[in-house]
Amino acid sequence: MKDSPKLKSLLEKRRQTDALRTLKITSPDLIDFSSNDYLGLARNSSLKSEILKVSQSRSLTTGSTGSRLITGNNSLIEETENYLAQFFSQEASTVLSSGYMANLAFFSSVPQKGDTIIYDELSHACIKDGCRLSLANRYSFKHNDLQDLELKLQKGDGNIFIAVESIYSMDGDMAPLASICDLADKYQAFVIVDEAHSTGVWGSNGQGLVHTLNLQNRVSAVIYTFGKALGIHGACITGSKDLKSFLINFARPFIYTTAPSDHEIISIQKAFELRAQNQTLADSLFEIINYWNKKLPKFSTPSAIKAITIGGNTETKTIADNLQNQGLDIRPILSPTVKAGTERLRICLHSFNTKKEIDFICDTLKTDYPVLFN
């Protein structure tokens, strides 16, 4: 097959900066400190059994056969969307194949030409990609900086959309959602929240931070992702019935993609049911989070995500490799995924991690890399 010389040139540049991405199979022998399976539901045997049980008891097709607007819609999907809307205390929900596609669908279609999108500079790539596809003007504001956000709001035209994450995926810190809503009220802006890393974790039944903080009526849309703490796949956008109708009519990632299969929809139902019945999973996770925060206060966050900045691709990869050789599944996050100079170890905690494992990782870091604690 003939390739463009430019492809080889770009790949070579990645190699030279030690930034070339490759696929890696996770060893089952390592202690998991990397996955987004915060509550252990991806490995939960009861969830797997319930999904298989329902799948086998109903007459299901292996595929949805088409997009939602052609042959891919059915009562099971609509029943699940109604359930999710009620669960998250919103008028309506729209299921999509992933959180990436959900953000792409919203930001590429809802903000119109002449409108303005203002997004946190550390927003996930899918938010930024959706903004790039929009005809609206777009600006970033300094991470969690309310002053800078207000300056950008003062420059906004048309309908103004503020895009934030409730928990940020690389640093594990929390957005000041209530204060952002206050600013949005002042400037008549619309707040859009990505709850990828808080869905299933925060709230008595896992409804996320917006619900926990009672901000459902102060935000315009929330994107909930199921591929992390819920341990399955998919996502939904919640908001008004008009928003759902708009997405069905104008969101290209919804209109022109194959609908999720019945198996995927049943998995969503069963994952939420199991989470709602097992608050102890979240309680166990927060116990582990608090234990880590006391052991390593320098790297304390309110979430399961802990970032240890090393700096430099080669240096960060070397430390990650050393930790993996000691039985710890810890992955390096390199530039260009993060800004050059902020390359880091991204450590994820889980409800199934033990205090003994936390002792091991914390003691290993302190002993082998004391410079990190200076």
Q: What is the pLDDT of residues 256-288, one digit of tens each?
A: 999 999 999 999 999 999 999 999 999 999 999
Compute the distance between CA of residue 40 and CA of residue 334 in angstroms, rounded to an integer: 26
pLDDT tens profile 38-61: 999 999 999 999 999 998 887 788
pLDDT confidence of residue 96: 97
Share of the chain above pLDDT 90, in %: 94
What band does 238 get if pLDDT is binned at 50, 70 and 90? very high
Eight-class DSSP state of 167: B
> For residue 3, what are the contacts with CB-CB under 8 A and spacing of at least 6?
none
| 338 within 8 A of 309, measured Cβ to Cβ | no
Asked if the model's pLDDT at residue 204 lies above 90, the reply is no
What 3-state DSSP class applies to 338? Answer: coil
Q: Residue 148: exposed, middle, or buried by beta-carbon count in 10 A (0-12, 13-18, 19+)? A: middle
- Has residue 239 got a pLDDT over 90? yes
Instruction: Name the CATH topology of 57-277.
Output: Aspartate Aminotransferase; domain 2 (3.40.640)
| Model confidence band, residue 312 (pLDDT cutoffs 50, 70, 90) | very high
The whole-model pTM stands at: 0.95
Burial of residue 4 (CB within 10 Å: 0-12, 13-18, 19+) is exposed
**Of 17-31, 287-301, 349-363, where does mean pLDDT reach its minimum?**
17-31
H or E stretch at 137: strand 137-141
CA 352 to chain CA mean position, Å: 20
pLDDT band at 374 (very low <50, low <70, confident <90, very high): confident
Q: 189, 170, 193: which is closest to 107 by C-alpha? A: 193
CATH number, domain 5-32+279-373? 3.90.1150.10
Domain range annotation of the chain: 5-32+279-373, 57-277
Which amino acid, residue 276? A
Confidence of residue 98 (pLDDT cuts 50, 70, 90): very high
Count CB atoms within 10 A of the CB of residue 45.
7
In the numeric block, which tokens belong to residue 224? Answer: 């909930």
Residues 163-186 have a mean pLDDT of 98
Q: What percent of the chain has pLDDT over 70?
A: 100
